[in-house]
Every structure is written in structure tokens, then in C-alpha cells.
Copies of this chain bind each other. A is one copy, B any other.
Amino acid sequence: MVATVRPARAENGRRDLMDIAIDCFARYGYQGTSIDRIAKAAGVTKGAIYHHFKDKEELLFDAVKTRVGQFERRVASDLTPVDDAAQALQEVTRVCLEHATRSNHRRFIVTLMVEALDTNARLSAEFRDMMIRFRAFLRSIIELGQKRGAFRGDVNAATAAGVYAAAVMGAEIQYYQDPETIDLEESLGMFVEQFLMWLRRPSPRAARRK
């Protein structure tokens, strides 16, 4: 057992530093967060940080991967196994709402994702893959609903997944910009209502067959 203590402890130290770093990034932005600031917030030396991470970008990159992974595992575990596709789609917005309003980490991820578009190709590719996975997950739910006959079969599930992801992201950004005006829960609820009403409609072909 003794042999495993050291790596486990090192892993914890790394994880703790990452949590503190992402708190700093979320609060002061990437530009406003120095390794020095993170070290002070963590109560460690700058050397201790450089022991775990090459530089600030590496730390940001790992922090983003970690947070995104946590969000994806959370969504997947809350929703597995998917039985009722419509209920699962409602559940995804519930998790998004919780993440958007509970801490500033989700805001950090979304704003950084847009900022990275034109400033950091490597980070932007990571976010692109995150969105591809999110849309693939939504698509699989929609296709399950189609297979089970709950959703109309004549719509492109991939495009529909993109519409869903777009509406959630856009609502979040409006909420971050104007929390006094935008009721995120009401907005997401209204969108899902529209989306499900449209998906549940019988396909024109099925209607014609009758």
C-alpha cells in the first residue's frame, strides 16, 4: 500500500491546484490570472505549480479538460440508462441550468470557448471536440426516441441536436450578460417545450399513410 500513497497524494495535489486555478481563471479571466496569483491562492510556491504544470496555458488546458469531463460524466450518470427520451432531454437542460447558475465555472467554460475561437487554436479544438461529443450525446437520445416511436422519424437527428445545443448555449450567454432580465429557467423550459412539441408531432409521411 505504501507504494501507492505517493502517486495518489501527488494526484490530489495536482487536482487541488487545478480547482484553485480554475477558480482564479473564472474570477479574474485568463489574462488577469498569473501563476503567482494561483500560487498565492493555493498557499504554495510557484515552484510547486511548475512541478505539476509546464506553464499557465498547460494549466488552463488541463483545467478545461477536467471541468468539461466532470460536466459530461455528470450528465451521463444522471441520464444513464436513458429510458424516456423526452424526459432525458428535459433532464439535460436541468443539469445545464444547475451548472450555469450554481457556480461561475460553466460561465468560464462558455466564455473561454468563444474567446479561444480566434486566439488559441489548440484550446479551440478541445472545445470543438467537447461540442461534438455533446451533440452526439443529444443525437443519441433523439435517435432513441425515434427508434421507440416517441419522436417523429422524418427529422435529421444530428441537426436537431445542434439546434438544442445552440438554444441552451445562447440562453446561457444572454443570462450571463443580463441576469436581471433573463430568467434562464423559464427560457430553457420554453425551448424544451417547443422542441418536444415539434419532435413528438407525427411525421407528414405517417399522417399521409392513414
Q: Does A190 contact B (CB under 8 A)?
A: yes
Contact present for A171 and B178 (CB under 8 Å): no
- Contact among B118, B128, B176, B195 with A29 in the assembled complex (CB-CB below 8 Å): B118
Q: Which of A177-210 contact B (CB under 8 A)?
A: 177-178, 181-183, 186-187, 190-191, 193-195, 197-198, 201
Minimal Cβ-Cβ distance residue in B for A104:
B118
Minimal Cβ-Cβ distance residue in B for A158:
B181
Contact present for A177 and B31 (CB under 8 Å): no
- Contact among B29, B115, B171, B193 with A198 in the assembled complex (CB-CB below 8 Å): B193
- Contact among B117, B170, B197 with A167 in the assembled complex (CB-CB below 8 Å): B170
- Contact among B111, B128, B187 with A159 in the assembled complex (CB-CB below 8 Å): B187
**Complex-state Cα separation, A195 to B29, whole angstroms:** 36
Chain B neighbourhood of A190, CB < 8 A: 155-156, 159-160, 163
Minimal Cβ-Cβ distance residue in B for A118:
B29
Copies in the complex: 2
Chain B nearest CB from A162 CB (Å) reads 5
Knowing A114-B173, A197-B197, say if A163 contacts B178 (CB, 8 Å).
no
Chain B neighbourhood of A110, CB < 8 A: 114
Knowing A165-B174, A171-B166, A173-B169, say if A197 contacts B191 (CB, 8 Å).
no
- Contact among B118, B119, B169, B178 with A174 in the assembled complex (CB-CB below 8 Å): B169
- Contact among B124, B128, B155, B194 with A163 in the assembled complex (CB-CB below 8 Å): B194
* Interface residues, chain A, with chain B CB atoms under 8 Å away: 29, 31, 110-111, 113-115, 117-119, 124, 127-128, 131-132, 155-156, 159-160, 162-163, 165-171, 173-174, 176-178, 181-183, 186-187, 190-191, 193-195, 197-198, 201
Known: A170-B171, A193-B198, A194-B198. 8 other contacts (CB 8 A): A159-B183, A162-B182, A162-B187, A166-B169, A166-B173, A166-B174, A168-B170, A169-B169
